[in-house]
Chains A and B, each alone.
Chain A
């Protein structure tokens, strides 16, 4: 009796397991694929003849998916992670960035490409500037010229968006539909209360450079406001205006402007003008609401429209209570580049998606109008900047595009390295101890070196 019960449980479990194995689409069965090497050549031979039926796209959030869904003609959504273009099935492999999960997953898949079944292979993947070189420098990303995208197609793009994805031999290996120039986004109510005006030119005068910034921060503090939520808000502004890279000849290098960020930030924290929270934490985002008493955030278009809780009742963004100004220095934050994976068999479709979203002016203007994104098309953006009928609701109807355009022109991304992501992250983490008085500056920098070498054992300091 008991024996039967147990074997019944076991049998049920096994059946359940095998059902789960079979229930999914062909994409689920790696083990099956790898155990049948004999079948491989046949699959490949077939693949050369006609494009495979699955377009695998690797990304870390839904931004690109939304763009494709809303703006690529012919895309039909099937469910949250699947779509269809013609008779090609589009599979979205979305792995969030947390704990480096996106890159770990992407790396493993790229490295295992030779053994993967045709329909499991990556066709497209997305990257960010901070780690772009990690992929651009390898053969896993395909030069976009090989896809049939010409110089001419790219004529209207901002130069820096090309620099980021150009490899050592000058080959362009990625493309982006957006530009991410950043501005200072300030609270209109607070501006009126403390400075007597919320007009961008008046506020710009109060925050024209870092000295003015500190002076104005003192006025804000007297009125109970923090100038910025956290000193990490200003990190990008400094780190995008460096004159030397994070790593020089295998040795970790701290640029003078990064050093200035440390000193300026320490002063801000000591004076009580800013906090030390990590970005994206609850404490950091409390300033999205009036009672958070934060004067300004630094960020690009996507921060304004997607991250400042515009859809939440009671937030400043919801009431259109923000305004934008250039701030002390121009900078770039974020941006997503699309790469084609070498060996893809859907090259034509990929080229078409890239051209549509990143080169087609009509579609790109649509993206601006519908999603308030800042697109990678200089003439289009400049035309929009002059358009008085356009305005961003979060910014109280302000048309901030002229500022973004001016910012985008000035962005220089010539100091990027493969190590930027780890260095930027670890530097902010390590300096927090210094800002909070737990360590002196030298000790905090030593802690930073140590943390970077843990991530990148080949580096020295």
Chain B
């Protein structure tokens, strides 16, 4: 069998190239060219002031120097990571819990279809619409404050939008609600791939549900768990809509919820291809490093 297959396939192999053409062409045109030109632009002074174009003038690495010397980059990176962690910890916890329950045959949960359908639904709402809703709900005279006051928990409205940690918390919470369904779906896929006989054996041996979870499910889930962590981390680096709308583009208070992409967006105001390009290249390097890690993990688990 093996031999016969190999013999035949060889003559068909040119089709491998043919089937790759659409991907390669489109990728080269719409991703590679922009990537290269972004890098090229980052070496120039090139922006628009009013209706006047300034540049492009070649200035070498000066844009990078500007980005590093004003020191904000690290702060925005930190903000992005803080909000990602705040959202990701509950996200992965809840997803693991739900995944374990859904795939646990002894629980025999009813309405699984309903629950599984519902958890992905927040992802259907536009991120901008979602954060607009939150902005209204949590405004000083909004419904959340009036509930808290009428419930006797507060005497004066809590200024959610003027407090560093409440803004970050809200951003994280929104990301959590929007994405845990997606994560659950991915984890469930991994959990259902685990050989059921392992569970049965454990149950016969008298293991508790939590023992099964920590001793069997979690270790076997490691590859997909890592995949989820890293894709979510990279998704986190791209965080934009939610904090942008919630803080009206300012990232305030004190730019404590300004993310890297929001910062990039600021440079789009003046069509600043130079500084914006440099920022993009730095982002590319960071995500590149992270991609390399994903790649490593994937090749290791495949073989």
Contacts and interface: CB of A to CB of B under 8 A. Distances in A.
Q: Do chains A and B touch in the complex (CB under 8 A)?
A: yes
A348 interface: no
Contact of A283 (B141, B252, B253): B141
B272 interface: yes
Contacts of A438: 162, 164, 253-254
Interface stretch (B31-39, B47-55, B115-123, B182-190): B47-55
Given A454-B269, A457-B270, A277 B140 contact: yes
A96 B275 CA distance: 27
Contacts of B248: 278
Interface stretch (A146-154, A330-338, A429-437): A429-437
Nearest to A443: B254
Given A276-B162, A433-B252, A447-B254, A286 B141 contact: yes
A67 to B, nearest CB: 27
Contact of B267 (A277, A282, A436, A454): A454
A418 B254 contact: no
Interface in B29-75: 47-52, 54, 70, 72
B269 A134 contact: no
Interface residues of B, number: 30
A221 to B, nearest CB: 14
Contacts of A454: 266-267, 269-270
Q: Main secondary structure on chain A at its contact with chain B?
A: helix
Nearest to A111: B51
A138 B51 contact: yes
B28 to A, nearest CB: 22
A282 B266 CA distance: 25
A137 B254 contact: no
Contact of B269 (A100, A278, A450): A100
B287 interface: no
B51 A455 contact: no
B142 interface: yes
Interface string A421-461: 00000000100110010110000000100110011111000
Given A433-B253, A436-B162, A282 B51 contact: no
B47 A457 contact: yes
A111 B249 CA distance: 27
A278 B248 CA distance: 10
B78 interface: no
Contacts of A276: 162
Contacts of B269: 100, 454-455
Q: Main secondary structure on chain B at its contact with chain A?
A: loop
A388 B154 CA distance: 50
Contacts of B162: 276, 432, 436, 438
B155 interface: no
Contact of B140 (A135, A275, A455, A456): A275
Contacts of B159: 436
A137 B51 CA distance: 10
Contacts, number: 67
Interface string B242-256: 000000111011110
B298 interface: no
A370 interface: no
Contacts of A99: 249
A91 to B, nearest CB: 22
B136 interface: yes
A275 B136 CA distance: 17
Given A432-B252, A433-B253, A457 B275 contact: yes
Contact of B139 (A140, A281, A439): A281
A396 B154 CA distance: 37
B112 to A, nearest CB: 30
Contacts of A457: 47, 49, 54, 270, 272, 275
Contacts of B52: 138
B141 A107 contact: no
A213 to B, nearest CB: 23
A100 B269 CA distance: 8
A99 B285 CA distance: 29
A282 B50 contact: no
A450 B70 contact: yes
A458 B52 CA distance: 11
A110 interface: yes
Given A275-B140, A436-B162, A456 B51 contact: no
A282 B252 contact: no
A455 B254 contact: no
B279 to A, nearest CB: 11
A100 B140 CA distance: 26
Contacts of A458: 49, 54
Contact of B50 (A137, A278, A447): A137
Contact of A110 (B51, B142, B164, B252): B51
Contacts of B266: 451, 454-455
Interface of B: 47-52, 54, 70, 72, 136, 139-142, 159, 162, 164, 248-250, 252-255, 266-267, 269-270, 272, 275
21 contacts: A107-B51, A110-B51, A137-B50, A138-B52, A275-B140, A278-B248, A282-B136, A282-B139, A283-B140, A432-B253, A433-B253, A436-B253, A438-B162, A438-B253, A438-B254, A447-B254, A450-B70, A454-B266, A455-B266, A456-B49, A457-B47
Given A283-B139, A429-B250, A450-B72, 16 more contacts: A107-B51, A134-B50, A278-B248, A282-B136, A282-B139, A438-B164, A438-B253, A439-B254, A447-B255, A455-B269, A455-B270, A456-B270, A457-B47, A457-B49, A457-B270, A458-B49
